[in-house]
Amino acid sequence: MAAQGQPQVLRRSRTPVAVLLPVDTTSSGPSSDTTAHAGAVPAGGALNSPHDQDSSSAPRRLATLGDAIGSMLASGPAGGLTFGLPGLDAATGGLQSGRLTLVAAAPNVGGSLLGLAAARQTALVDNRRVLYAASGPNQADIMRRIISAETGGDYPRLKQGRLTPQEQQVAQQLVHAPLMIDDGSDLTAEAIAETAPYVPDLALVVVDRLQAARNARLPLSGDRLPDASQVLASLARTLHVPVLAIVDSDDPTLLGLLDADVLLTLAPTGDPSKVQVTVAERDFGAIASAHLSPDLLHARFLDAGTAPADRTAGEVPARSLGSSVERELAEAALPFTSGAQ
């Protein structure tokens, strides 16, 4: 009877002891979906975790070691982004997708210029799209620094709005560069994370900068930095792009709270023409170091031992101003000079 679709009562003597119910061949038959079985292995080799049928969340996908190796070999060294500074790129292995890299430097050491270097290399050389979130500098500052770094023109003069014909030509060529700048007020890590997914073909996010000192006008400052760092780290993993953030401090306590995947710490050396960059990774500590040559007058770093690029025609070569005192003197002299040479 049960096999024919009707329940059947089993009795011992006259006492009912069990009920046989009809078989539901639709639900109890073998499933053709291998993912329905705990521990089943799909064609790609990945494993799906057991799934509670009453849960609304999707099952988690577990990658095999083969998946990880295949992904690494498929991306290859050519697919990674770099700073365009050979010594630093060799020490860091470039900018890794899905990871938050933090550049830590005390004020006046030039930490922001490493963010600018990565943005220039990615947008202007590799022609890939960059979101430059500027908390501190505005878009005019950023463009003047780019023009100065690209042409070798003096940044203090460019701040006065005096561009040579060559610099004006370079500025015109940069009009269509894939560099998106957000220097809006109330720039928070959450706002960056909300905007980034809508940037088509996004390759890199640069956050310039996280400010250690509390500033009521800048959300990316003070005691809000640890939470902001976690949001940026999550953004990197979610979009699988590198996120490069600058912090204007080398305080170990603060850097520990920010807990970045990769930490690049800039520090002056006994030689004013060089700064040392120490590369550290979470769980490993310091793994490498590199030296860069500061060329702050032209808003850039040079690879140590690399000669500066050709300067704007007609300009007298100027020595890089390495110390804060020299930079202050150059700024003070601007009203009385013709170009802060």
- The C-alpha angle 25, 27, 29, rounded to 5 degrees, equals 55
What's the pLDDT tens digit per position in 39-93? 444 444 555 545 554 556 678 888 898 888 887 777 655 458 999 999 999 999 9
Hey, how many other C-beta atoms are within 10 angstroms of the C-beta on 303? 18
Q: What is the pLDDT of residue 55?
A: 52
> What's the token pair of residue 267?
């520090």
Q: Which residue has the higher pLDDT, 4 or 133?
A: 133
- Mapping DSSP to helix (H, G, I), strand (E, B) and coil, where does residue 84 land? coil
- Number of domains, the chain: 1
**What is the helix (H) or strand (E) element at residue 186, kind and residue range?**
none
Determine the average pLDDT of the residues in 120-124: 97
Which pairing describes strands 285-295 and 275-281: parallel, antiparallel, or unpaired? Answer: antiparallel
Q: Is residue 266 part of a domain?
A: yes
Find where tokens 């150059």 sit. 330
Note down the domain range covering 93: 78-336
Q: Is residue 27 part of a domain?
A: no
pLDDT interval class at 320 (50, 70, 90): very low
Alpha-carbon distance of 131 to 244, in angstroms, equals: 10
Q: Is residue 135 part of a domain?
A: yes
Hey, how many other C-beta atoms are within 10 angstroms of the C-beta on 182? 17
> How far from the centroid of its chain's Cα atoms is residue 7's Cα?
64
Alpha-carbon distance of 341 to 333, in angstroms, equals: 10
What's the pLDDT tens digit per position in 287-312? 999 999 999 999 999 998 655 444 44
Q: Is residue 66 part of a domain?
A: no
Compute the mean pLDDT over every residue in the chain, rounded to the nearest whole number.
82
What's the pLDDT tens digit per position in 20-36? 666 554 544 444 444 44
Tally of CA atoms within 13 A in the half-sphere of 195 that contains its CB = 20
Q: Is residue 211 part of a domain?
A: yes
Position 116 pLDDT exceeds 70 = yes
> What's the token pair of residue 332?
């003070």
**What is the helix (H) or strand (E) element at residue 27, kind and residue range?**
helix 25-28
Position 336 pLDDT exceeds 80 = no
Hey, how many other C-beta atoms are within 10 angstroms of the C-beta on 247? 25
Could you give the residue ranges of the DSSP H alpha helices within 209-285?
225-239, 252-258
Q: Is residue 88 part of a domain?
A: yes
Residue in 205, 235, 229 with CA at minimum distance from that of residue 131: 205
Q: Is residue 62 part of a domain?
A: no
Determine the average pLDDT of the residues in 147-157: 93
C-alpha to C-alpha distances, 12 to 9, 15, 22, 281, 303, nearest whole angstrom:
10, 5, 21, 73, 92
CB 174 within 8 A of CB 120: no
Q: What is the pLDDT of residue 4?
A: 57
Q: Is residue 84 part of a domain?
A: yes
Position 240 pLDDT exceeds 70 = yes
pLDDT interval class at 226 (50, 70, 90): very high
Q: What is the CATH number of the domain that holds 117?
A: 3.40.50.300
